[in-house]
Structure 1
Amino acid sequence: MAWAGARIGPPPSPVPKGRLMTVTPLRRALVVLAVASLPVVAAPSAAAAEPDPKALTWTVQPATASGPDQRRWINASLDPGQSVTEHLAVRNFSRSAVAFSLKAADGYLTDKGRFNMLSSDRPSVDGGTWIDVQEKVTVGPNETRVVPFTITVPRDATPGDHPAGIAATVTSTGGTVNVESRVGFRVMLRVNGTARAALAVRGLGVTYSPSWNPFAGGRVRVRYTVENDGNVWVSGTSRVAISDLLGRTGHDATGAVEELLPGGGRQVETRVDGVWALGRLRTTVSTSPTLLGDAQAGADLRPASATVTTWVVPWAQLALLGLLAVALLGLRAVARHRRRRLAGLLARARQEGRQEGQEAVLVGGAPAGAEPDAGDARR
């Protein structure tokens, strides 16, 4: 498996305090670069294979007493009051010996789902305080040193997961700020007891964007936050179901809930197309947790759901109906006008016919075939 490395170089431009960057691990070690005060430095992954002579490059990974092993991080399931010894391996790719500071701290997931440790200026209150490791280790050029560390679970520790991280750090001075570069891996500590895997859906909001094509449905945008209300490390699945005014459910969307540590949360957005806006839309989001880490028999799995009702107006369809109504009224008005005009023409024709008949009688005398009167006969 490949090594992952980090490099100290010229200080980058400052970033807001508390912002952390995680270098994607190559395969074995989780590489984290954190800042004690402001900037963060991230090295290219190729540095592990061909380290720059002008840079400082090192890796940290889980190990046994004899050397590095195949673990990406450490999973430990312990009872309250129990103590175990683990090991880490620090490898220095540089051409000179380096004195590394070894530190442990509480772990968390960033907004993008990457594991990280609390920075040195933030005190740990959970699993990070359970790890006891020597403060410094000096590693020669192109050498690897194995360092033991002890994990001691408090007797009053609550059941569940208590994530932590351990790292080898180097602090360099760049101008007026100190840059702390850390390379380490996660230590997932689980206290035996009742495991409760519970997801909660909060802040559910739904917006509807109509399609201006009256023959096509619109888009429903569903936003919510999935939070881990349990005491163990979980992932899961989510399902969005949308029903119309008559209760018919014809639009579903499913997705994966990425890993969440106890107390953590993540915002989710789902889009569903082709939904007709016919008054009421009822949107239900349901989640089902999946236990991660060392599975425990009889774990309490608690699904959750939330529902919100949205009233929408089918503007495109109403506009189409309005146009059809206007067109129908217009056609009826035209038809009535034509009927009235035709009736007027017929009445005029009849009137003109009667007038022509009367004029013919007055101008032409008696009609043809009439009997001559007596005076005409004697003449």
Structure 2
Amino acid sequence: MRWSAGPTDGRVSLRHVAEPGSAVRDSITVRNLGQEPADFVVSAGDGVLGQNGAFDIAPGTPSDSGAWITVGGLDAGKLTLGAGEHRDLPVSVAVPADATPGDHPAGIVVGVSATEDGVRVQRRIGVRVHLQVTGELTPALEVRGVTTDFTPSWVPFADGTLKVTYEVVNTGNVRLGAAATAEAAGPFGLLARRGGDAADELLPGNTTTRTLEIPAPSLFWASGDLTVTGVAVGEDELTAPTPIIRGYSVLAVSWTGVGLLVLVAGGAALFLVRRKRTGTGGVSTEEPVAAV
């Protein structure tokens, strides 16, 4: 079974900025690309991020902007299309008068059921709705729970791996990406290293836990800063919040290097002991020379 769903004019998503109490109108097109008639189920829902960080539409009864969306041209939420047929469906969004400013992500799900190998399978396509309510926009991130873990290399005194795990929360009312950089250096800033990471998108109220890995010098102690910067996503235009900086330090010991030092020191000590014994306890073998 093949089908498609998307904005009627070919856009990637439905994007609107609306005032509280206003109404927005748009449309989507559903196409049956298969060789047989098909029954589609169409519904609206709140926008969420899945475990992999990708945008998804929450199942069940919507509690936010998904409840503001109405899709027309349906029969009890269903649409029947013949092979090769398509239909334009009107979409209206009624924004409540008390809607709060900021992003209210939503989407429209178009699903179809089919039997595959005797099993009934439902497949879905989502049309994303970017809806922003006018008012004061407050882009903001918060970083919590920064922890570090150092894993030394098996090669003596070679760089180990520093894992910086952190939790970042979108505490504002618009979506943001989160770009992170981490630095690590030995005592007195020696052998500084650097690495980067990013969360592509965080919806308002979303939390994600990330782990950033960077090389770090094995000089017994390493320290550095984690810097998390909010960035605009896609076509969004906003003033990025002030970067957040969190310092950290960690024990960074090359245990194979320490073992090598112990072996070298032990060998040197043994050599000195043996040399000392030879120098003080030896017996001279020289014989006196007879006078002629």
The interval holding the TM-score normalised by the smaller chain is 0.7 to 0.9
- Relative to structure 1, is the Cα distance of residues 209 and 293 closer, same or farther in structure 2, using a 3 angstrom cutoff? closer
- Whole-angstrom distance in 1 between the partners of 2:90 and 2:29: 9
CA contact (8 A) 1:220 1:275 kept: no
| 1:87-98 correspondence to structure 2 within 5 Å | 87-98=27-38
TM (norm. structure 2) is 0.86
Following TM superposition, by how much is the alpha carbon of 1:165 offset from its aligned partner in structure 2, in angstroms? 0.8
| 1:38-117 correspondence to structure 2 within 5 Å | 57-63=2-8, 69-117=9-57
SS of corresponding position for 2:284: helix
Residue 277 of structure 2 aligns with which residue? Answer: 337
CA contact (8 A) 1:209 1:219 kept: yes
Q: Which amino acid aligns with 2:82?
A: G
- Relative to structure 1, is the Cα distance of residues 177 and 323 closer, same or farther in structure 2, using a 3 angstrom cutoff? same
Following TM superposition, by how much is the alpha carbon of 1:177 offset from its aligned partner in structure 2, in angstroms? 8.6
Larger radius of gyration: 1
Residue 256 of structure 2 aligns with which residue? Answer: 316
- Relative to structure 1, is the Cα distance of residues 294 and 196 closer, same or farther in structure 2, using a 3 angstrom cutoff? farther
Structure 1 alignment gaps of length 5 or more: 1-6, 8-56, 64-68, 358-367, 369-379
- Relative to structure 1, is the Cα distance of residues 141 and 321 closer, same or farther in structure 2, using a 3 angstrom cutoff? closer
The structure that is strand-richer by fraction is 2
CA contact (8 A) 1:197 1:291 kept: no
1:217-243 per-residue CA deviation (whole Å, 9 max, x = no partner) reads 222122223332221122242110123
TM (norm. structure 1) is 0.68
The structure that is helix-richer by fraction is 1
- Relative to structure 1, is the Cα distance of residues 274 and 307 closer, same or farther in structure 2, using a 3 angstrom cutoff? closer
Report percent identity of matched pairs.
30
1:94-126 per-residue CA deviation (whole Å, 9 max, x = no partner) reads 34443422200011121222221112xx32111
SS of corresponding position for 2:146: strand
Query: Are 2:146 and 1:204 aligned?
Result: yes
CA contact (8 A) 1:241 1:249 kept: no
- Whole-angstrom distance in 2 between the partners of 1:255 and 1:300: 17
Residue 185 of structure 2 aligns with which residue? Answer: 243
- Whole-angstrom distance in 2 between the partners of 1:139 and 1:62: 18
- Relative to structure 1, is the Cα distance of residues 321 and 60 closer, same or farther in structure 2, using a 3 angstrom cutoff? same
SS of corresponding position for 1:195: coil
1:311-337 per-residue CA deviation (whole Å, 9 max, x = no partner) reads 344433332332222122111122122
Query: Are 2:165 and 1:220 aligned?
Result: no
Q: Which amino acid aligns with 1:345?
A: S
- Whole-angstrom distance in 1 between the partners of 2:117 and 2:173: 44
Greater CA deviation, 151-160 or 223-232? Answer: 223-232
- Relative to structure 1, is the Cα distance of residues 84 and 277 closer, same or farther in structure 2, using a 3 angstrom cutoff? same
Residue 290 of structure 1 aligns with which residue? Answer: 231
CA contact (8 A) 1:196 1:300 kept: no
